[in-house]
Each structure stands twice: as structure tokens, then as C-alpha cells.
Chains A and B, each alone.
Chain A
Amino acid sequence: MLTGWRDFDDTLRAIDLLQRRLDRAFDQWAEPYPQGERARRRPRTAWPPTNVFETKEAFVVKAEVPGLAEGDVAVSVEDEALVVRGERKSDVPEGYTVHLRERSPVAFTRKLPLPARVDSDAVSATLRDGVLTITLPKAKEALPRQIAVKAG
């Protein structure tokens, strides 16, 4: 419950700081760029396109990796960073000629430095319909806690 404007400001400031920190972190991501015009819906973004959002208990990283199965991608936590490596093979099938090519093969490595408040032992990842979802639970100390007020 907000007890005053100062709490609200602090919260906004914390969110803003995290956002700017993550923005800077994402600027450092290693980048292979896929060729092909339509594949480049957002210019200057590395592959795979990735969203990061926050829930009450965790940070969630979602990446669009169409064509990849579990064996094509490796997720690890190394040196306080989330590392996603993989290869999207979308080679021309043997014996076919090419009329249109917008999905290029790409090998990628993307690194995201983790905020200190993440429990790196409990990170989990799932892959479904070409979307990789990585859940990074917040460290317990970082979760909001209710403090019981006792009559004293």
C-alpha cells in the first residue's frame, strides 16, 4: 500500500534504474544479423528478437526462435549472465530451387547480465511453437515482504 508520494517515487526510480540497466545490457548483446528484408522487421535488432518483462516473482525472457527445437538452443547462466546460444538452420532443401528467401540460417549467442536480485540456481527454460521462454525467479530477499506489526 502506498503511504505517500515518496514510496511511489522510489518504486518508479527503481524500475527506471533496472530498465536503463537492462537497456544498456541489451546494447551489448552479440549480434549476427539475418539477411533478408522482411526478416528485418525491426532494423538493427539481433536475432532472436527478445522481450523481457517482470512479474511479481520473476523476470521472464521470451525469444522468437521459429524453426528451433530443444536441441538447437542452449541456455546457461555464466558469470552472472544469462547466455543463449543456438543455431537456426534454414538451409535450402536439397534439390530445390529458390524463388524467395527471407528466412536465413543464423548462429547466435546473446548475453544478458543478470540483475543481482535473481536466483540463478532456479532459472528454467521452455521451448514451444518456436518461442523460448526463460524464467528467472527473483531472489527471495528481493520479494516484497509483509512485516507484522505487533503491539508493543
Chain B
Amino acid sequence: MSMSTTTPNVSNASNGSLAQRPHQRQVVAPPVDVFENGDELLIIADIPGVAADSVDLRFENDTLTLDARRPPAKGESPALVREFDDLDFQTTFRIPAGIETGAIRAETKNGTLVVHLPKAAAAKPRKIEVR
């Protein structure tokens, strides 16, 4: 199986919900790992600072979209040292055929998002009996 990852460019996303904000918040794609075994595809994304109920994960037309909002940092400016920005995460994945899309499940853990994409039975490696 192969997967392609498309990432939207930062800010000025044509996403309608961003347009409702008083000012555009920067949006970046989080670092991800993608693994595979006989049973599933496994995606792990770093989304520090995001609570479980702020993750929007949708699957539509072969595309898995992740949208994770962080609460805006208040009282943290001006920073004495700034190595990370106050931003949100967004990215999309094209999901190959062979996934049991109704069984996709995800959980957040310690600021990471773990997505399990089980393979449809027909796509799992099977041993074929030879008589």
C-alpha cells in the first residue's frame, strides 16, 4: 500500500471556519509517523497542547482530514524566549483502498493523536491452502 500526504499551506486557508475568526491563526501540519502491519495502517501525529475534544477527524472520499485547535495562548506575549508558535494543526491524508473505513478509530494520548485504520478483510494477507 502507498499513502500520500498532502498538507495545506499555512494561514489564509480557504477553510470557512477560519474565516470566522477575528484574525487568522497560523496553521501547520504536525509531524507524523505512518506504520503498517498485516491488520492496519497506524498514523501517529504530534499535537501537543490539544485536548481530546478539540480534535476534528473526518473521513470523506478517501481523504482523512485532521483539524486540531489549541486554545489561544493568553498572557504569553511578549515572550522572553519563543521556540514554538501559538498555532493550530491541520493536515490531510489520502487513504488507499482496502481500509475498513467504518472501523477507523482514534485516540489522543499525551499530546499525540493515534489513528488506527483497520484493513478490510479482503486486503489482509491471507495464507492460501494448497491441496
Contact = CB atoms under 8 A, between A and B. Distances in A.
A130 B46 contact: yes
Interface string A95-113: 1111111110000000000
B37 A97 contact: yes
Contact of A98 (B29, B35, B108, B109): B35
Given A102-B32, A103-B32, A130-B48, A69 B77 contact: no
B80 A52 contact: yes
A26 B42 contact: no
Interface residues of B, number: 37
A42 B81 CA distance: 13
Interface in B17-52: 28-37, 41-42, 44, 46-51
Contact of B79 (A38, A51, A69): A51
Nearest to B5: A100
A39 B49 contact: no
B35 A130 contact: no
B37 A64 contact: no
Interface in B49-94: 49-51, 75-84
Contacts of A99: 2-3, 34-36, 41
A68 B111 CA distance: 8
Contacts of A90: 33, 44
A92 interface: yes
B124 to A, nearest CB: 14
Contacts, number: 121
B42 A131 contact: no
Chain B residues touching A, majority SS: loop
Given A53-B78, A93-B42, A100-B3, 16 more contacts: A18-B80, A26-B81, A38-B31, A51-B83, A62-B76, A65-B48, A66-B111, A68-B111, A90-B33, A90-B44, A98-B34, A100-B32, A102-B31, A103-B33, A130-B46, A130-B112
Interface of B: 2-3, 5, 28-37, 41-42, 44, 46-51, 75-84, 108-112
- In order of increasing CB-CB distance, the 6 nearest A-B pairs are A130-B111, A130-B48, A96-B35, A66-B111, A102-B31, A66-B46
23 contacts: A22-B80, A38-B29, A38-B31, A38-B32, A45-B83, A49-B84, A51-B76, A52-B80, A53-B76, A62-B76, A65-B111, A66-B46, A66-B48, A66-B112, A67-B112, A90-B33, A93-B42, A99-B3, A99-B34, A99-B35, A100-B3, A130-B111, A131-B49
